[in-house]
């Protein structure tokens, strides 16, 4: 029996990695890994996406906002064992979503799974610093982060 995403979301209070297709992305976009970042609002989640489209994201920020390049956190298999290739954590566009609405962004036609809850502390720190340093992330979101 599959557990509904909104119930799973209630268990996501710290850093973890989930794999799912986000309904808010393009219809032809594949599922992605998403890192949940702990915030001071227990009824919401802050999600950052992991993408292997490293060059595409870098070129985008080179054109639109060079300062935002430093908020792309590079990760590889040595950081997160399940990764197949070098990727980035997109810390410029974290998604704040209420836990009760989590099922609205999870495509039910694709798998949803929690793949990791044991993220290295160095990576956690790097993600938090990148979000807080981002010239794009709204100040109220930066203030919500509770780490360490």
Chain position carrying tokens 């360490």: 148
Q: Say whether pLDDT at 2 is over 80.
A: no
Write out pLDDT tens, residues 81-122: 999 999 999 999 999 999 888 888 988 888 888 999 889 999
* Helix residue spans in the chain (DSSP H): 5-9, 54-64, 102-105, 121-133, 139-144
Residue 126 CA to residue 118 CA, distance in Å, equals 15
Where residue 12 falls among pLDDT bands split at 50, 70, 90? confident
CA 52 to chain centre: 13
Q: What is the dihedral of CA 79, 32, 74, 96, to 10 degrees?
A: -100
User: Of 80, 79, 101, which is closest to residue 24 (Cα–Cα)?
Assistant: 101
For the stretch 31-87, pLDDT in tens is: 999 999 999 988 899 999 999 999 999 999 999 999 999 999 999 999 999 999 999
- Residue ranges of domains in the chain, CATH in brackets: 5-140 (2.30.30.110)
What does the pLDDT read at residue 127? 97
């Amino acid at each position: 029996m599959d557990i509904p995403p909104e119930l799973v979301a209630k268990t996501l209070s710290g850093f973890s990695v989930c794999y799912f297709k986000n309904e808010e992305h393009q219809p032809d976009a594949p599922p992605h890994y998403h890192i949940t970042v702990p915030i001071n609002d227990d009824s919401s989640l802050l999600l950052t996406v992991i993408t292997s489209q490293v060059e595409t994201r870098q070129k985008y920020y080179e054109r639109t906002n060079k300062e935002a390049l430093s908020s792309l956190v590079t990760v590889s298999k040595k950081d997160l064992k399940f990764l197949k290739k070098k990727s980035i954590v997109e810390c410029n566009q974290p998604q704040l979503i209420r836990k009760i609405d989590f099922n609205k962004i999870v495509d039910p036609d694709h798998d949803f799974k929690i793949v990791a809850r044991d993220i290295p502390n160095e990576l956690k720190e790097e993600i938090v610093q990148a979000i807080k340093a981002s010239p794009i992330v709204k100040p109220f979101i930066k203030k919500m982060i509770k780490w360490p």
